[in-house]
Amino acid sequence: MIRIQNISKRFGAFAALHGIDLEVQRGEFIALLGPSGSGKTTLLRIIAGLEFPDSGQVFFDGADVSARAVGDRGVGFVFQHYALFRHMNVAENIAFGLSVKARAARPAKAVIKARAEELLQLVQLDGLGRRYPRQLSGGQRQRVALARALAIEPRLLLLDEPFGALDAKVRKDLRRWLRNLHRQMGLTSIFVTHDQEEALELADRVVVMDAGRIEQVGTSEQVYMQPATPFVAGFVGESTRLPGGHLVRPHDFEIADGGEPLLVDNVFRKGGAWRVEGSLRGAPGVLEIDIDAADAAPALGQTILIRPRRSHQFTERAMP
C-alpha cells in the first residue's frame, strides 16, 4: 500500500537518511525504532509530506505522492507534543479538519458537530468537548490529538513518539488502547519510538534504524531472536558481547559446571529473575546475566560458573 523507494535526505552537512526502501501493507502497524539521530522522525515526516526528500519517491496505493503537500496526502499526523490548538476547545480541535474543507466538500455544521461527538466517544472523552486543552491531562490531550487526526478519515495514521511525554502507567494503558483502536478501525499506522519495549509490544513489524539506514525489518520475534546486525542485537533487548564476538542476552546464560567463572559485583531483583552483574576473569567490561529468582541469589564477591545457552555471532566485517 505504501512504498518508499530510495529516499535520501540531508540537513546541511548532516545526512539524515541514506537510500531508504520500505513497504507497508494495508492494515499493518509499523514501528520505526532507533536511537535519536537515526532518522526515524525524518522518515515519518517525509511519508507525511511535512518534509521533502532530496531524492527518492513515496508511493501511496501505487501513485507517486512525492511532490504532494501534506494536506493532499490524506494522512493523519499525531505530534509528539500534541500540537493542540490552545484557543479552541476539544470539540473545535477535533472538528478543525472538517471545518477547513472547501465549501463544496464541507459537511453541514450539524454533521461536523455530530462527527466530533462520535470521535470524542471513540477516544473515551465524551462530555469533555467544551474543555480547553490546558484543562486536560497529558493522556487526554494525546487522545484528542488522535481524534483530531482521525476526523479527516486518513488512509494512513502517522504518530511521532506518541507516548513519549507521558508517565509510565498512562503510557501502558494508552498503548493497549491504541493497539485495539488500530485493529477495530482497520487503520494502517506507522509510529516512531526510541523505546524498544513499546515497538515490540505494539507493532506487527519493527523497522530498526540507525544513522540514517534501516538495519532490519521484521516481526518483533524476528528482530529479537534473529537480529540481522550487531546494532540490532545491541539496541533491541539487552545483550553482552563475549570475547570472540558472540552477543548473548542476559536470559540466555545458565549456571553450569565447567562454565566460565564470573566474579559477582552486584545482584538485584529484576522482575522474575535475579540480575547479576559481574566480570569474567581476564575480560574487560560488565556482563549481565539473569538467573531464576527461585534459586538463591549469589553473594557479592562470589564466583559462579556460567555458560551461554544461545548466542548471536556476526562476522568480523559486520562488527562496528
Partner 1 sequence: MNRIATSPVTERPATRRLLIGLALGFLLFFLVLPLISVFAEALRHGVAAYWASVTDPDARAAIRLTLLVAAISVPLNTMFGVAASWAIAKFDFRGKSVLIALIDLPFSVSPVVSGLIFVLLFGAQGLLGPWLMAHDARVIFAVPGIVLATVFITFPFVARELIPLMQEQGKDDEEAAVSLGASGWQTFWHVTLPNIRWGLLYGVLMCNARAMGEFGAVSVVSGHIRGETNTMPLHVEILYNEYDFVGAFAVASLLAGLAMVTLIAKSVLEWRFELHQPGARS
Question: For partner 1, which is the closer residue by CB, 59 or 79?
Answer: 79
Min dist. Cβ of residue 84 to partner 1 (A): 4
Question: For partner 1, which is the closer residue by CB, 149 or 247?
Answer: 149
Q: Between 89 and 118, how does the x/- string for binding to partner 1 read (CB under 8 A)?
A: -------xx--xx-----------------
Of 111-119, 126-134, 192-200, 222-230, the segment contacting partner 1 by CB under 8 A is 126-134
Question: For partner 1, which is the closer residue by CB, 50 or 199?
Answer: 50
Under rule CB under 8 A, residue 214 binds partner 1:
no
Under rule CB under 8 A, residue 230 binds partner 1:
no
d(CA 115, CA 150): 11
Please count the helices (runs of H) and the strands (runs of E) in the chain. Answer: 8, 17
Min dist. Cβ of residue 111 to partner 1 (A): 16
Min dist. Cβ of residue 96 to partner 1 (A): 5
**For residues 20-79, which are near partner 1 according to CB under 8 A?**
48-50, 69-71, 75-77, 79
Provide the terminal-to-terminal Cα distance of the chain, rounded to the nearest Å: 34
Question: For partner 1, which is the closer residue by CB, 96 or 224?
Answer: 96
The answer to whether 85 touches 96, Cβ cutoff 8 Å, is yes
Under rule CB under 8 A, residue 162 binds partner 1:
no
Of 17-25, 128-136, 164-172, 305-313, the segment contacting partner 1 by CB under 8 A is 128-136
Question: For partner 1, which is the closer residue by CB, 43 or 84?
Answer: 84
Strand (E) positions, the chain?
A: 2-11, 14-24, 29-33, 55-60, 63-64, 75-78, 156-160, 189-193, 205-210, 213-218, 240-242, 246-248, 253-270, 273-280, 287-292, 303-308, 312-313
Under rule CB under 8 A, residue 133 binds partner 1:
yes
Cα–Cα distances in angstroms (integers) from residue 85 to residues 80, 82, 148, 254, in the given order: 14, 9, 11, 55
CA angle 47, 227, 245 (to 5 degrees): 135
Residues near partner 1 (CB under 8 A), total: 30
Question: For partner 1, which is the closer residue by CB, 95 or 242?
Answer: 95
d(CA 287, CA 265): 10
Helices 138-150, 168-185: crossing angle, 10 deg rounding: 20
The closest alpha carbon to 228, from 318, 139, 117, belongs to 318
The answer to whether 46 touches 127, Cβ cutoff 8 Å, is no
Question: For partner 1, which is the closer residue by CB, 38 or 93?
Answer: 93
Residues that bind partner 1 in the complex, under the rule CB under 8 A: 48-50, 69-71, 75-77, 79, 81-87, 96-97, 100-101, 132-134, 136, 141, 148-149, 151-152
